[in-house]
């Protein structure tokens, strides 16, 4: 499981930003990028980085599975089951 975790340097390379940028984002909470902190160590899950990128993708078709997730979230918010539409 620990091999699924990336260091700040590795995560920065994956996102094509500097490690200092990730440190700034974490300290100012300017982005909702999840990370794990144990003592002075900071680690990132690759899945969290992928989710972060997917939430910031603009234009084009939604990522695979996104529509279903959005429908479920909308249904939960409105109290419906997300089934067939009435019309």
User: What is the Cα–Cα distance from 8 to 41, expressed in whole angstroms?
Assistant: 9
Q: Is the pLDDT of residue 49 over 90?
A: yes
Task: Write out the residue range of the structural domain in which residue 23 sits.
Answer: 2-77
Do the domain assignments include residue 82?
Answer: no
- Look up the CATH number of the domain holding residue 14: 1.10.10
Q: Is the pLDDT of residue 17 over 80?
A: yes
Q: Is the pLDDT of residue 8 over 60?
A: yes
Average pLDDT of 6-35? Answer: 95
Q: Is the pLDDT of residue 61 over 60?
A: yes
pLDDT for the residue 63: 63
DSSP structural state of residue 2 = G
62-87 pLDDT tens trace: 666 656 656 666 677 676 655 555 55
Helices (H), 6-65: 8-15, 19-28, 46-55
Do the domain assignments include residue 27?
Answer: yes
């Amino acid at each position: 499981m620990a091999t699924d975790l990336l260091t700040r340097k590795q995560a920065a390379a994956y996102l094509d930003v500097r490690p200092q940028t990730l440190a700034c984002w974490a300290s100012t909470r300017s982005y909702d990028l999840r990370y794990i902190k144990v003592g002075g160590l900071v680690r990132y899950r690759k899945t969290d980085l992928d989710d972060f990128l997917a939430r910031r993708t603009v234009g084009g078709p939604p990522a695979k599975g996104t529509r279903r997730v959005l429908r479920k979230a909308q249904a939960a918010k409105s109290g419906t089951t997300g089934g067939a539409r009435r019309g």
